[in-house]
A and B are shown apart, each in its own frame.
Chain A
Amino acid sequence: MATIQREIPKALLIISGVVMLLAFFLTFDIFTELKATLSSWTVLLSAISVWLGPVYAVNAQLMNYSRKKTTANLIYLIVPILFFVLFFGVALFSPGDISSASYQWLYIHIYQNVGATVYAVMFFTLASSAYRTMRMSSIEAVALAFGGVFSAMRSIPIFTYYFPWITGLGDWILLVPNVAGGRGAVIAAALGAIVVGIRTLAGKETTIQETS
């Protein structure tokens, strides 16, 4: 039973990973074909699993409501289901599905507005954080403020118009010290990713074994 439940899936992981690696380094047609085929399978595979989302969400909200019967929890349970049925129903039954006028109306005036406003609210919370994060109490904080303030000014026309030197400084910050720091982070992250990837393909990565 352990073979079917653990060893064969592990073997599937290793074989599929090694095939992808070999496809990169060897130019035989068979590997190119396999790379395209196996990669394309992940597209369909991932798309099919999308219905797990609503199932888990409704289940979680049901359990939440059964634990604590408040108005807020009731809203969290009923309203998503209502809007799910509304949007899905309109998409399914309107001629032209998502391109139909009725779906576009719902999409632009409800979905887009709420989603965009969630990000808009973050402007206020992030701007408030300036009181804490931009306090120059250490050299690192000064560096953060330097990078943040002048990069922000570079993006706002009023500053680049009245203080033209901010254009050059802002561009310099993006393309020199930011690249320096960013490149170091990219290389470090890449080294870590390769180590984890090799451990995964060798079947040694314990987190994969536990969660899969």
Chain B
Amino acid sequence: MADILAGLVGTFFIVSVLSMLWKDNIVFRFGQACIIGASMAHYCFMNTQMVFTQGVIPLSQGKLTLVFPLLLGLLLYSRLNKDIAWLARYPTNFLIGVGSGLMIAGTLRGQIIDQVKQTIVDLFAGFASESPLDALNGVIILVGVITSLSFFIFTKEHKGAFGYITKIGRVFLMISLGANFAGELVWYLTQMIGRLMYILNQLIWPLLGMA
């Protein structure tokens, strides 16, 4: 009985969100409002617990340097008052500084040098391979990288010969987007199947005595 009740509650919420396909309605808005409250509660609880276990408790046990991040974090709440909102610049700028520094260092090698290196390696490995298809793939990757990179040059007008190069780049980027689109479509399909399986396993089969 408790399982069927759980199935009923779950099915109600699934149907409430699905009703959006018919039209925007009060039941959908109710479901939407529920998840806003539930997710806020979950995130607030988990983060507050984390602050206590990894911040306040170690601080009380002698790790005094934790005073700085705890104070900086509290300064963020000064945004709620216009007169002292400038205090929030301290933690914000600290976050931006640390993030930027970490990002620049890793990006140079990880996303530029290594990617260019891999493109050239793919080309030479392709030609060194026995299969002519590997060589062709290496050439396609090289052409694709150069042309799609040139698409992002906005300081020169995409006209004439350069226009043809960027057009080829656009084709490669659209194939990439298509692959992304397919991934999303199958992902959402899987999500829908998951909800149908929930309705079957938690409500329909137990009601029919086939659990």
Q: A interface vs B, CB < 8 Å? A: 5-6, 8-10, 12-21, 23-25, 37-55, 57, 71-72, 75-76, 79-88, 91-92, 97-98, 105-111, 113-124, 126-127, 133, 139-141, 143-152, 154-156, 172-174, 176-191, 193-194, 197-198, 200-201, 208, 212
Could you list 28 examples of A-B contacts with CB < 8 Å? A16-B97, A17-B100, A23-B101, A45-B91, A45-B94, A55-B80, A79-B37, A81-B37, A92-B45, A109-B9, A111-B42, A117-B14, A120-B192, A122-B184, A139-B171, A144-B174, A144-B178, A145-B178, A150-B182, A151-B178, A178-B175, A178-B179, A180-B143, A184-B172, A185-B173, A197-B104, A197-B107, A212-B88
Given contacts A9-B89, A147-B182, contact A180 B172 (CB under 8 A): yes
A48 and B176 contact, CB distance less than 8 A = no
Q: Mark B152-183, 1 if CB is under 8 A from A, else 0.
A: 10000000000000010111111111110111
Asked if B60 is an interface residue, CB under 8 A from chain A, the answer is no
For residue B137, which residue of chain A has the nearest CB? A176
Chain B: interface secondary structure?
helix
Asked if B57 is an interface residue, CB under 8 A from chain A, the answer is no
Given contacts A44-B54, A184-B144, A188-B149, contact A98 B45 (CB under 8 A): yes
Which residues of B sit under 8 angstroms from A47, Cβ to Cβ? Answer: 47-48, 50-51, 55, 73
- Which residue from B95, B98, B111, B151 sits with its C-beta under 8 Å from A190? B111
A-B pairs, 8 with minimum CB distance: A180-B144, A147-B178, A20-B101, A184-B148, A48-B73, A83-B37, A24-B105, A16-B97
Asked if B131 is an interface residue, CB under 8 A from chain A, the answer is no
Q: Min CB distance, B180 to chain A, in Å?
A: 8
Asked if B102 is an interface residue, CB under 8 A from chain A, the answer is yes
CA distance A25 to B108 in the complex (A): 12
A48 and B38 contact, CB distance less than 8 A = no
Which residues of A sit under 8 angstroms from B86, Cβ to Cβ? Answer: 5-6
B175 and A181 contact, CB distance less than 8 A = yes
Which residues of B sit under 8 angstroms from A8, Cβ to Cβ? Answer: 90
Which residues of B sit under 8 angstroms from A123, Cβ to Cβ? Answer: 185, 188-189, 191-192
- Which residue from A12, A45, A97 sits with its C-beta under 8 Å from B69? A45
Given contacts A13-B94, A148-B181, contact A143 B29 (CB under 8 A): no
A197 and B14 contact, CB distance less than 8 A = no
Contact residues of B between 174 and 211, Cβ < 8 Å to A:
174-179, 181-189, 191-192, 194-195, 198
- Which residue from B102, B115, B118, B173 sits with its C-beta under 8 Å from A181? B173
Q: Min CB distance, A173 to chain B, in Å?
A: 6
CA distance A140 to B99 in the complex (A): 36
Given contacts A10-B93, A88-B44, A113-B10, contact A200 B100 (CB under 8 A): yes
CA distance A50 to B98 in the complex (A): 19
B96 and A208 contact, CB distance less than 8 A = yes
